[in-house]
């Protein structure tokens, strides 16, 4: 079994993002069959087709982003919920990666979504909106366990480390299931 490289995309751009903290906690529990690379989305110019049509050269940030995602075997998304949907930065990243038409970097890569929220519902709306986009982008998603993590500010200690044992066990379950999902669904080289 070869080590699979996983692109980690965090929808929250905050310095002290709860989603980024959960991402780090999950990665720490993942089996060694996976390696992780954070793919930053905050610096991507808004997608505008005019910027790469009719001889125009796509912004360098788009090209670098596309290359980074294309080089990965799987996708792991962490998203907060903004107004019952995903943050604009994450939707923009999806759009940038899906263009130009016919050259999407997403298609066929196994993925998983973890939504993280201070609220009790755990970002359910954002999780499901993101799932809708993944269907169109041809990203086969891990279905179980579903990952809606609510009450997130209470899960970490003063140093930003996961302090809730049951959440740690749940993240371990997700990491293990995701590793098996990637192994089963990653394209064979």
Q: At 112, which CATH number?
A: 3.40.50.360
Percent of the chain with pLDDT over 70: 98
Domain hosting 115: range is: 4-185
Contact 142, 111 (CB under 8 A): yes
Q: Is pLDDT of 189 > 60? A: no
Query: What's the pLDDT score for residue 184?
Result: 94
Q: Which residue has the higher pLDDT, 8 or 118?
A: 8
Q: Is the pLDDT of residue 88 over 90?
A: yes
- Number of separate domains in the chain: 1
How does pLDDT run across 37-63, given as a tens digit for each residue? Answer: 999 999 999 999 999 988 889 999 999
In whole angstroms, give the CA distance from residue 129 to residue 147.
14
Measured between alpha carbons, how far is 121 from 172 in angstroms, rounded to an integer? 21
Encoded tokens for 130: 């993101």
pLDDT digits (tens, 9 = 90+) for 143-170: 999 999 999 999 999 888 999 899 999 9
């Amino acid at each position: 079994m070869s080590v699979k490289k996983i692109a980690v995309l965090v929808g929250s751009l905050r310095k002290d993002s709860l989603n980024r903290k959960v991402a780090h906690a999950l990665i720490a529990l993942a089996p060694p069959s996976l390696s992780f690379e954070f793919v930053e989305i905050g610096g991507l110019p808004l997608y505008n087709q005019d910027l790469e049509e009719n001889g125009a050269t796509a912004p360098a940030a788009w090209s670098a982003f596309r290359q980074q995602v294309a080089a990965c075997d799987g996708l792991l998304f962490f998203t907060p919920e903004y107004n019952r949907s995903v943050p604009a930065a994450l939707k923009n990243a999806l759009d940038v990666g899906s263009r130009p038409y016919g050259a999407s970097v997403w298609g066929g890569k196994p993925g998983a979504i973890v939504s993280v929220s201070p609220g009790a519902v755990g970002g359910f709306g954002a999780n499901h909106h993101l799932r809708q986009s993944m269907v169109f982008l041809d990203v086969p998603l891990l279905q179980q366990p579903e990952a809606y993590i609510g009450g997130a500010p209470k899960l970490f200690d003063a140093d930003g480390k996961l302090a809730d044992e049951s959440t740690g066990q749940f993240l371990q379950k997700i990491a293990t299931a995701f590793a098996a999902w990637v192994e089963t669904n990653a394209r064979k080289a």
